[in-house]
Amino acid sequence: MTITWYGQSCFEITAKNKENSDTTIVIDPFSEETGLKMPKLAADVLLVSHGHFDHNNVKAVGGEPFLIDACGEYEVKDAFVKGLSAFHDDKAGKERGGVIIYKIEIEDIKICHLSDLGQKELTGEQMEQIGDVDILMVPVGGKYTIDAKDASEIISQIEPRVVLPMHYALPGSKSKDDLDGVDRFLKVMGEEGVVPEKKLKITAKNLPVDETKIVILEI
């Protein structure tokens, strides 16, 4: 499996299916109104977590993807996807509404994308629906989502094997002055010397076992 990050909450996951061909999943493509450049992508499955312009640029993704933008359970090209509801703020959605958390299972790897989660903690029902997680994609920039400290608490709740921080300040982003950088998250997590990677290439067999690994992806 290969995971690539393009900024904001946008990821591309390429994994082998049972036919030994690729299944490509794209999550939350953004508009260039963000100040970031959205690459040309094609997908088999396209996930949109909510209707904000920095998450729902479906026209940017080519191919004929199966679009998932609602809660429920889906199976497409050997990818099992579950969408469950969450809040974009810590006031039961009264400020920014709702988002969809996605749980994805493919290649025997369980991935969870937390979207623009604003809740400072997950409910028992959400935790039950999410279940075990190997790779967690979590926002850390604050203001519009949880911040570094909140993210650390969510990570403690879920206990994933790998953490991919997202939705933080980036050069060129129009929201960079509003968001914290990833350094703050690394400091809260007590991590030093994390070298950014262009892509995460991983299999079920080489997932970390004894501790949670934080991986910083370049864009």
Do the strands 162-166 and 213-214 form a parallel or antiparallel pair, or are they unpaired? parallel
pLDDT at residue 129, as a whole number: 96
**Residues 88/147/141/154 CA torsion (nearest 10 deg):** -70
Query: What are the extents of the domains in the chain?
Result: 2-214
pLDDT at residue 177, as a whole number: 83
Q: What is the pLDDT of residues 179-214, one digit of tens each?
A: 999 999 999 999 988 999 999 999 999 999 988 999
Q: What is the pLDDT of residues 24-82, one digit of tens each?
A: 999 999 998 888 999 999 999 999 999 888 889 999 999 999 999 999 999 999 999 99
pTM: 0.95
CA gap 211, 219 in Å, rounded: 26
User: Which of 163, 122, 166 minimizes the C-alpha distance to 9?
Assistant: 166
Q: Which CATH number fits domain 2-214: 3.40.50.11890, 3.60.15.10, 3.40.50.300, 3.40.50.2300?
A: 3.60.15.10
Q: What is the Cα 132 distance to its own chain's centre?
A: 16
Task: List Cβ<8 Å contacts ≥24 apart for 167-173.
Answer: 167/8, 167/9, 167/116, 167/139, 167/140, 167/141, 168/139, 168/140, 168/141, 169/141, 170/7, 170/36, 170/219, 172/35, 172/36, 173/7, 173/8, 173/34, 173/35, 173/36
> What is the residue-wise DSSP string for 122-171?
--HHHHHHH---SEEEEE-B-SSS-BHHHHHHHHHHH--SEEEEES---T
pLDDT at residue 215, as a whole number: 97
Do the strands 11-16 and 22-27 form a parallel or antiparallel pair, or are they unpaired? antiparallel
pLDDT at residue 79, as a whole number: 97
Q: What is the pLDDT of residues 110-168, one digit of tens each?
A: 999 999 999 999 999 999 999 999 999 999 999 899 999 999 999 999 999 999 999 99
